[in-house]
Amino acid sequence: MRAADWSRALGELFPIAQPGSASRRTVAWESICGEARPVLLAGAYLASPRKTLVIVPNVDRALKWQAKLLLCGVSRESVRTLPNGLTALFDDDPPEFVALSDRIAALQALADDDPVIVVATASAALERTLPAHVLREVTFTLNPGVRIEPQALTRRLLKLGYEHHEPVRLPGHFSRRGGIIDVFVMGLDCPVRIEMFGNEVESLRSFDSVTQRSIGKVPGVSFAPSRETLLPSDSGQFVDMLRRSLELEAAALEATYRDSLIEHIEEDVRRFESREYFDRLDLYRPLIHPDACGVVDLIGGDGLVVLDEPLEVEIAALKAQEEMDQALKSRSSRGEMLQGYVSDFLAPVEHLAENVPVLAMGSMNAYPDWLTPDERVAVEANSLSSLHGSPTGLTKSLKQWKSSNHRIVFATDQANRSKAVLAKVDFFPQPVESLDGLGELKPGVYLSQGNLAGGFALPQHQVTVVTDAELFGVARLRLPQKRFLEGSPVTTLLDLKAGDFVVHIQFGIGRYHGLAKRSVDGVEKEFLFLEYAAGDKLFVPTDQLDRVQKYLNPGDIEPKVNRLRGTEWQKTISKAREDARKVAAELIRLYAQRTLVHRRQYGPDTPWQQEMEATFPWVETPSQLAAIKDVKRDLAQAWPMDRLICGDVGYGKTEVALRAAFKAVQDGRQVAVMCPTTILSEQHFRNFQERLGPFDVKIELLNRFRKASERRETLAMLKSGDAEIVIGTHALLSQEIVFKNLGLLIVDEEQKFGVKQKETLKKLRVEVDVLSMSATPIPRTLSMALMDLRQMSLINDPPPGRLPVRTVVRPYSAESVREAILRELSRGGQVFYVFNRVQGIYHVAEKLRKLVPTARIGVGHGQMAESELEPVMMGFLEGEIDVLLSTTIIENGLDIANANTLIVENADRFGLSQLYQLRGRVGRSDSQAYALFFFHPVRDMDDDALARLRAIQEFADLGAGYSLAFRDLQIRGAGEILGTRQHGSMASVGNRNLRRSSPYPRSTSQWRL
Q: What's the pLDDT tens digit per position in 658-696?
A: 999 999 999 999 999 998 888 888 889 988 988 887 788
* Helix-, strand-, coil-residue percentages of the chain, each rounded to 5: 40, 20, 40
Binning pLDDT at 50, 70 and 90, where does residue 7 land? low
Crossing angle for the helix pair 255-273 and 235-250, to the nearest 10 degrees: 180
Q: Give residue 590's pLDDT.
A: 58
The phi, psi pair for 6, rounded to 5°, reads -60, -55
Residue type, 952: I
pTM for this prediction: 0.69
Strand duo 523-531 + 537-541: pairing: antiparallel
Residue type, 969: L
Top pLDDT among 955 and 366 is at 366
Binning pLDDT at 50, 70 and 90, where does residue 82 land? very high
Q: Give residue 433's pLDDT.
A: 65
Q: Give residue 270's pLDDT.
A: 92
The dihedral through the CA atoms of 713, 714, 718, 723 has a sign that is positive
Half-sphere exposure of 485 (CA within 13 A, CB side): 24
Tell me which DSSP letter residue 860 carries. E
Q: Report CA dihedral (740, 744, 747, 753) to the nearest 10 degrees.
A: 40
Rounded to whole angstroms, what are the CA distances from 763 to 506, 641, 643?
Answer: 40, 13, 15
Rounded to whole angstroms, the Cα distance separating 129 from 100 reads: 12
- Look at residue 819 and give its three-state secondary structure: helix
Q: Are 37 and 308 spatial neighbours (Cβ–Cβ below 8 Å)?
A: yes
Helices and strands: H and E segment counts in the chain: 30, 40
Section 545-569 average pLDDT: 70
Section 266-280 average pLDDT: 90
The phi, psi pair for 858, rounded to 5°, reads -120, 150
For the cut 80, the answer to whether the pLDDT of residue 432 exceeds it is: no
Strand duo 501-504 + 430-431: pairing: unpaired
Tell me which DSSP letter residue 127 carries. B
Continuous segment of H or E residues that includes residue 764: helix 755-764
Q: Of the ranges 294-298, 389-393, 702-706, 713-717, which one carries the lowest mean pLDDT score? A: 389-393
Q: Give residue 981's pLDDT.
A: 40
Crossing angle for the helix pair 943-954 and 912-919, to the nearest 10 degrees: 30
Share of the chain above pLDDT 70, in %: 79
Top pLDDT among 760 and 215 is at 215
Q: Of the ranges 34-38, 256-260, 268-272, which one carries the lowest mean pLDDT score? A: 256-260
Q: Are 66 and 79 spatial neighbours (Cβ–Cβ below 8 Å)?
A: yes
Q: Is 216 exposed, middle or buried (0-12, 13-18, 19+ CB in 10 A)?
A: exposed
The phi, psi pair for 530, rounded to 5°, reads -115, 135
Q: Report CA dihedral (425, 428, 433, 437) to the nearest 10 degrees.
A: -80
Rounded to whole angstroms, the Cα distance separating 659 from 691 reads: 10
Section 115-120 average pLDDT: 96
Continuous segment of H or E residues that includes residue 712: helix 708-720
- Look at residue 780 and give its three-state secondary structure: helix
Q: Of the ranges 342-346, 473-477, 864-868, which one carries the lowest mean pLDDT score? A: 473-477
The dihedral through the CA atoms of 60, 62, 63, 65 has a sign that is positive
Backbone angle region of 223, left / alpha / beta, with phi > 0 → left and psi within -120 to 50 → alpha: beta
Q: Are 395 and 49 spatial neighbours (Cβ–Cβ below 8 Å)?
A: no
Q: Of the ranges 148-162, 683-697, 822-836, 847-861, which one carries the lowest mean pLDDT score? A: 683-697
Crossing angle for the helix pair 3-11 and 36-47, to the nearest 10 degrees: 90
Backbone angle region of 522, left / alpha / beta, with phi > 0 → left and psi within -120 to 50 → alpha: left
End-to-end CA distance of the chain: 59
Section 436-453 average pLDDT: 73
Q: Give residue 317's pLDDT.
A: 92
Mean of the per-residue pLDDT values of the chain: 80
Q: Give residue 490's pLDDT.
A: 31
Other C-beta atoms closer than 10 Å to the C-beta of 889 total: 21
Q: Are 514 and 521 spatial neighbours (Cβ–Cβ below 8 Å)?
A: no
Q: Of the ranges 165-179, 475-489, 520-534, which one carries the lowest mean pLDDT score? A: 475-489
Section 526-533 average pLDDT: 83
For the cut 60, the answer to whether the pLDDT of residue 476 exceeds it is: no
Nearest to 36 by CA among 385, 294, 277: 385
Binning pLDDT at 50, 70 and 90, where does residue 893 land? low
CA 170 to chain centre: 16
Q: Give residue 555's pLDDT.
A: 46
Q: Are 389 and 467 spatial neighbours (Cβ–Cβ below 8 Å)?
A: no
The phi, psi pair for 844, rounded to 5°, reads -65, -35
Top pLDDT among 71 and 282 is at 282
Name the most confidently modeled range: 539-543, 882-886, 917-921, 958-962: 882-886
Q: Give residue 518's pLDDT.
A: 78
Q: Are 858 and 881 spatial neighbours (Cβ–Cβ below 8 Å)?
A: yes
Name the most confidently modeled range: 140-154, 605-619, 913-927: 140-154
Rounded to whole angstroms, the Cα distance separating 685 from 787 reads: 34
Other C-beta atoms closer than 10 Å to the C-beta of 608 total: 16
Backbone angle region of 444, left / alpha / beta, with phi > 0 → left and psi within -120 to 50 → alpha: left
Binning pLDDT at 50, 70 and 90, where does residue 439 land? low
Binning pLDDT at 50, 70 and 90, where does residue 1008 land? very low
Q: Give residue 991's pLDDT.
A: 46
Top pLDDT among 101 and 341 is at 101
Q: Is 991 exposed, middle or buried (0-12, 13-18, 19+ CB in 10 A)?
A: buried
Strand duo 456-458 + 375-383: pairing: antiparallel
Q: Report CA dihedral (863, 865, 870, 873) to the nearest 10 degrees.
A: -20
Rounded to whole angstroms, the Cα distance separating 102 from 171 reads: 9
Nearest to 631 by CA among 596, 593, 671, 583: 671
Rounded to whole angstroms, the Cα distance separating 816 from 346 reads: 23
Tell me which DSSP letter residue 389 carries. T
For the cut 70, the answer to whether the pLDDT of residue 47 exceeds it is: yes
Q: Of the ranges 334-348, 513-527, 691-705, which one carries the lowest mean pLDDT score? A: 513-527
Q: Give residue 999's pLDDT.
A: 38
Q: Are 296 and 356 spatial neighbours (Cβ–Cβ below 8 Å)?
A: yes
Rounded to whole angstroms, what are the CA distances from 648 to 167, 402, 674, 799?
Answer: 25, 48, 19, 10
**Residues whose CB falls within 8 Å of the CB of residue 888, separated by 6 or more in sequence, listed in order:** 834, 836, 910, 914, 918
Nearest to 122 by CA among 53, 44, 45: 53
Q: Are 1007 and 591 spatial neighbours (Cβ–Cβ below 8 Å)?
A: yes
Binning pLDDT at 50, 70 and 90, where does residue 504 land? confident
CA–CA–CA angle 753, 756, 759 (5° rounding): 95
Tell me which DSSP letter residue 3 carries. H
Rounded to whole angstroms, the Cα distance separating 694 from 390 reads: 9
